[in-house]
Amino acid sequence: KAGVTQTPRYLIKTRGQQVTLSCSPISGHRSVSWYQQTPGQGLQFLFEYFSETQRNKGNFPGRFSGRQFSNSRSEMNVSTLELGDSALYLCASSTTRAAGTGELFFGEGSRLTVL
Amino acid sequence: AQRVTQPEKLLSVFKGAPVELKCNYSYSGSPELFWYVQYSRQRLQLLLRHISRESIKGFTADLNKGETSFHLKKPFAQEEDSAMYYCALCNFGNEKLTFGTGTRLTIIP
C-alpha cells in the first residue's frame, strides 16, 4: 500500500499570503489529522477529520482551517500567513475513528517557509 | 488540560550503555500512552504503545500512574537507536492526542 502522501513537499510564501496543503491518506484510512512541527514546540495538534467531519481542533487561530473530502483526502489552509507559521506540517492517517486511539501513519510533511 | 513533558531535549549515550528517555504526563483520567520515533530521513512512526505491553527493538515502557510517567528504556543502546523520540498521550474523554516536545537521542560509538 502507498503511504500517506503530502503535497507540496516544500513551499515558500510571503507574509499575508495564504497557502493550501494537501494530504492523501493510506487507502482505506478514513481518519486524517494534522500537526505543526517546530524545533521548539515539537508536534502541535491542529485538527482531525473522520468521514468529512471535523472531530477535534487544536488551539490554533482561525486562520488555520481544514477539510476532508469524500475520498478521505484532506486539505489544510492557512490564511494571512505570519513569519511564525514557518514549520513542517505533518499529516497522519489512521484506521480508527478517533486518530488518537490508534496507530498514526505519518506523511513526510510539507515544509512551509514564510518570508 | 492534558500535558506531556519530555524534560530532555538532547540525550547522548554510549553504545552498549542503558538508555532511559523520560516522559511525564498530567491527566486526571486513565491515559493511553505512546512512543513515536523519527529516524534520520524517515517518517515519524509508532514505536510502542502502553496498551500492547510489547518490547519493540529492545525498548520497553512502563506506565507508572503514581509518578505519572511513561519512561522509555533499553538495556543496551545500539547505534541505530539514534533518532528523535516523542511521547504522546491520548485523552479518552475527547480522544485528542497530545505530543511532548521530543528528545533527540544520540548513541556515541
Per-residue pLDDT of chain B (109 residues; tens, 9 = 90+): 789 999 999 999 999 999 999 999 998 777 889 999 999 999 999 999 887 778 889 999 988 888 999 999 999 999 999 999 999 998 777 778 899 999 999 999 9
Q: Are A60 and A66 in contact (CB under 8 A)?
A: no
* Cβ–Cβ gap B97/A45 under 8 Å: yes
pLDDT of amino acid B27: 84
pLDDT value at residue A10: 97
Query: Who's near B76: CB < 8 A, 6+ residues apart?
Result: B16, B17, B18, B58
Cα dihedral sign for B63, B66, B69, B74? negative
pLDDT higher than 70, residue A24: yes
Cα–Cα distance for residue pair A111/A101, rounded to 1 Å? 27
Mean pLDDT, to the nearest integer, of A29-53?
Answer: 92
Give the helix ranges, DSSP H, for B1-109.
Answer: none
Of residues A41, A55, A92, nearest to B101 (C-beta)? A41
Query: Is residue A7 over pLDDT 70?
Result: yes
Q: What are phi and psi of B85, to 5 degrees?
A: -120, 130
Contact A29, A95 (CB under 8 A): yes
Helix, strand and coil percent figures for chain A, each rounded to 5 = 5, 50, 45
Question: Which residues are CB-contacts of B109 (< 8 A; sequence separation ≥ 6)?
Answer: B15, B79
If you average pLDDT over every residue of chain A, what do you get? 93
Query: What is the model's pLDDT at position B99?
Result: 93
The nearest CA of chain B is from the CA of A27 a distance in Å of 18
> What was the pLDDT predicted at A99?
64
Of B36, B96, B101, the CB nearest to A100: B96
Torsion sign, CA atoms A104, A109, A110, B1: positive
Of the two residues A102 and A108, the one the predictor is more confident about is A108
DSSP B69: B
Kind of pairing between the strands at A10-13 and A110-114? parallel
The residue with cell 472531530 is A55
A16 close contact with B: CB closer than 8 A: no
Interface test with B, best of A104, A105, A108, A111 (most B CBs within 10 A): A104
- In this prediction, residue B17 carries a pLDDT of 97
* Res A64 pLDDT > 90: yes
Task: Report the phi/psi class of residue B102: left, alpha or beta, with left for phi > 0 and alpha for psi in -120 to 50.
Answer: left
End-to-end CA distance of chain B: 41
What percentage of chain A exceeds 70 in pLDDT? 97
* Interchain CB distance below 8 Å, A56 and B94: yes
pLDDT for the residue numbered A56: 87
